[in-house]
Amino acid sequence: MKKILFLNLCLLALSWTMTAAVTPTIEVPLRFDDYYTYDMTVEALRALHRAYPTLTRLDEVGRSEEGRTIWCMTVNNPETGDALEKPGIYVDGNIHGNEIQATEVALYLLNYLLANHGRNERITRLVDTRCFYVVPIVNVDGRHHFFADANTSSTNRGLRRPKDDDNDGLLDEDFPDDLDGDGNICMMRRRDPHGQFRTDPEDPRLMIRVKPGEKGEWTMLGSEGIDNDGDGRINEDAEGYVDPNRNWGYNWMPPYVQTGSGYYPFSGVGLKSLAQFIMARPNICMAWAFHNAGGMFVRGPSTKAQGEFHPEDLRVYDLLGKEAEKMVPGYRYIIGWKDLYSTYGDFTAWISNTMGIYAFVGELFARDQERYEQKPDAREIDPDYEEGPRFGANEAQTRDRLKFNDHLAHGELYRDWQPFDHPTYGPIEIGGWVKMSSRLPAPFMLKDLVHRNAAAVIFSAQQTPEVSLGLIGTEALEDGVHRIQVRLVNGKAMPSMSHLARQNRLYPQDMLTVAGDGITVVAGGRINNRFTGDVSYKEHRPELQFLTVPGFGVTEYEFLVKGTGTVTVNYTSAWAGSRQLSVDLK
């Protein structure tokens, strides 16, 4: 009996040890010298919440197709007001499963805001006067599978919604296969004297497309894999593909117009939950959605047909975009449809056009930052060079990237070609760039990337509306009537409501009200010129004025009030919060 009890205790201790070994233990402040898996990200959020319980709230936004939780951390100081009474900044990342460094930007922003509250004066004021809603991982299934499964740097982007890609009546039955067991999906090539590629004489790892009349050496066979379903094709039916950034309910188009859009908008269950979460927070006035790659800050419109933004909104976008461009060397501030490509049903178009929110996509990491030497001179670049169908880099850049891999990443980014006996193709070789390359910075480059992009978010947060309500003065007139003049001042670049929101009447404008016991508001309206007495009086219900306070702007109002006592002037705004002042009339 004692032996059995001892054995059970040993097994229990072993179980505890094994559990501790697999459960991520994250310490605060967080580290940004490597990437967090989905489980580690969740634990990082919980660790931040434990460390800063009064400043944070951790909410379950919804669940994914595979049942994983989408989390949002709210950063707000309740001692300085309710979250909904402050300008809200929404930040998310990793909407595409392979774009993992976007999560690191979101985590870094959270860590930086919380760690510096009470230490850095500017950050303390920002946290005290604004509210941040941060969703580090939108595509939670995608992030999990990107780390857990073999991938290229570009695969595993979509939602895990089963789809028959090859119309054979089966669902998701022909994924790429990690044939050599190295945890990556690399490229396959086969020796072929009639192939379109030959070995680069300067670096045998690379291939050069043959010119007319030249003898070939290699045929590229595509990504690593086999014919799992016996239909004569390879890798043609991977994870069910709904692009989570083409499935939003604004300007959505069916798959024959927009690849990956899904059968209807918000068919992604997690996306629908996230939309509901955002719409329940009307104080959000700024949104950032982080992706990779390319080194860009992208604003809308997402299609030409939507037309350009009004100049009033463009002034805000240009200020924020051009400043962000300065903060992150090599990044460009661009217009989506004009400088990149048109998209339908994307997130930033939805949040801008349904809620009037200013929104940017941060496309993280420009691949040409992986340099060993200075950027190759344009005269050295052959625009026709192509290293296989997936790479698309020119010869000089690819050689330079390989030197970066050899001497700075010490071989971690590229797998040398190795022989493999393929069941269909026979003797082949497998090699090329691994999944943690090409679209992702090497870990030693991560800290600079996340800090600079988080700084761009912080700058935009500092430019959200900050409206003060002040009394210009009062004056007694005839017949017990008093003139009350008030001034609303916005010291920041962003107006208290975007022009797009006003134009499309997405929600009520700011309201300025005057009330008091025994008080009658005889007239009220906007002051056009206080010195000449030019006032645009409102015809009906003068005690209620609808308005917007422009960025870096001043708005003044006049009320003619009959009676005596205390008059209360209230200003309320979805974005700028509430302000109040009292005036005693005698």
How far apart are the C-alpha atoms of 230 and 239, rounded to whole Å?
Answer: 18
How far apart are the C-alpha atoms of 141 and 372, rounded to whole Å?
Answer: 35
pLDDT at 10 over 80: no
The pLDDT of 293-313, averaged and rounded, is 96
Q: Is 33:448 a contact under the CB 8 Å cutoff? A: no
H helix runs in 282-374, sequence order: 311-327, 347-355
Structure tokens at 379: 């005269």
With tokens 């809308």, the residue in question is: 300
How far apart are the C-alpha atoms of 203 and 512, rounded to whole Å?
Answer: 71
Q: Output the pLDDT for position 237.
A: 85
Q: Which domains does the chain have, with CATH numbers?
A: 23-145+246-365+443-462 (3.40.630.10), 162-239+377-433 (no CATH), 467-585 (2.60.40.10)
Strand (E) or helix (H) holding 454:
helix 446-462
Q: Output the pLDDT for position 325.
A: 96
How do residues 96-129 score in pLDDT, each as one tens digit? Answer: 999 999 999 999 999 999 999 999 999 999 999 9
How do residues 230-283 score in pLDDT, each as one tens digit? Answer: 898 999 888 888 999 999 999 999 999 999 999 999 999 999 999 999 999 999
Out of 169-178, 214-223, 523-532, which region has the weakest mean confidence (pLDDT)?
169-178
How far apart are the C-alpha atoms of 203 and 306, rounded to whole Å?
Answer: 48
Out of 22-26, 140-144, 239-243, which region has the weakest mean confidence (pLDDT)?
22-26
Query: For residue 95, what are the CA distances in angstroms to 12, 61, 159, 329, 366?
Result: 40, 14, 9, 24, 19
Burial 517-546 (b: 16+ CB within 10 A, else e): eebebbbbbbbeeeeeeebeebeeebbebe
Output the average pLDDT for the chain: 91
Query: For residue 367, what are the CA distances in angstroms to 332, 341, 364, 456, 485?
Result: 14, 19, 10, 20, 57
Of 524 and 382, more confident: 524
Return the axis-axis angle of helices 446-462 and 121-129, rounded to nearest 10°. Answer: 60
How far apart are the C-alpha atoms of 579 and 581, rounded to whole Å?
Answer: 7
How far apart are the C-alpha atoms of 218 and 67, rounded to whole Å?
Answer: 44
pLDDT at 421 over 70: yes
How do residues 173-204 score in pLDDT, each as one tens digit? Answer: 889 999 999 999 999 999 999 999 999 999 99
pLDDT at 72 over 80: yes
For the sheet with 520-529, list strands across it.
467-476, 481-490, 554-562, 520-529, 534-537
Q: What percent of the chain has pLDDT over 70?
A: 92
Q: Report the phi/psi class of residue 303: left, alpha or beta, with left for phi > 0 and alpha for psi in -120 to 50.
A: beta
* Secondary structure (3-state) at 347: helix
pLDDT at 378 over 90: no
Contacts for 311 with CB less than 8 Å, ≥ 6 apart: none
Q: Is 247:262 a contact under the CB 8 Å cutoff? A: yes
